[in-house]
Structure 1
Amino acid sequence: MSVLGDRLRQLREEKGLLQRELAESLNLSRVAITQYEQGRRVPEVDILVKLADFFMVSVDYLLGRTDIRIMYATTYQPETSAHSNKQSTDILPDKARQCLKDFEEFIHQKYANPKSSQ
């Protein structure tokens, strides 16, 4: 088997999906999914992107170029981030919340635009 095939099968099984169910979800044939998993066929780039999006991993992860499964957001949305973490930060003093906000902005500035941080 190939790295792609192994990872595709592992991700599919973790979701509890049959090959047929995955194929239907992505508008592909079951035979294509079988061939991808067995390493007998390599999906086109657009299919790789569909698979990565479906499993919320990067194309690099599927291809074995990284072992990091987390797919990072392509845009930074501090309001969304702040709202999703609001409950966990409500118990903190004002100064601690401000420190977290400042740190979040610092990280965004440092890594969102790598050329400017060099």
Structure 2
Amino acid sequence: MKKNRCEVFKMVSFGERLRLLREEQNFGQKEIGDLLSVSVSSIGKYESGERTPSPDTINKLADFFHVSADFLLGRSEVRESAEIILTRFNIGNGLPEEALKEFDEVKNYILHKYGKKQQS
């Protein structure tokens, strides 16, 4: 039985998430390294858990894969931050930080509420 993308990412480490995202988008380690100015060996060590990337590199990876840093670090199952979603739909321009936080809270509430119902 094939697992959906959400199931695959549950309970996996940073390195595993990085590898899954990279493979999902059909990139090799060298391509990611070249695009982010990180050595191939560093990408391999991140994926194997031998090395932890700097916060700057984590942010670059999150931006590159269009996911939140929290998702990449395994702190959230929500792939996209409120800012990414608002930008995608071109509705976040000029909104104050408080509005972005409220949008994020509403998004998380909806995902939590309906995610629970789907599991029942």
TM-score range, shorter chain: 0.5 to 0.7
In structure 1, what is the equivalent of residue 34 of structure 2? 24
Determine the structure 1 residue equivalent to 2:45: 35
Q: CA deviation at 1:71?
A: 2.8
User: Letter of the aligned partner of 2:54 in structure 1?
Assistant: E
- 1:49 matched to 2:40: no
Superposition CA RMSD, Å: 2.9
The share of aligned pairs that are identical, in percent, is 40
1:1-118 alignment, distance < 5 Å: 3-73=13-83, 80-81=90-91, 111=102
Contact 2:68–2:80 under 8 Å retained in 1 = yes
Aligned length: 86
Structure 2 SS opposite 1:73: helix
Deviations 1:63-92 (A, max 9, x none): 110111123217x67x934xxxxxxxxxxx
Using structure 2 for the length normalisation, give the TM-score.
0.62
Give the SS at the match of 2:32.
Answer: helix
SS where residue 40 of structure 1 aligns? coil
Alpha-carbon distance change, 27 to 65 in structure 1, aligned in 2, over 3 angstroms: same
Structure whose alpha-carbon radius of gyration is higher: 1
Q: Identify unmatched segments of 5+ residues in structure 1.
A: 82-107
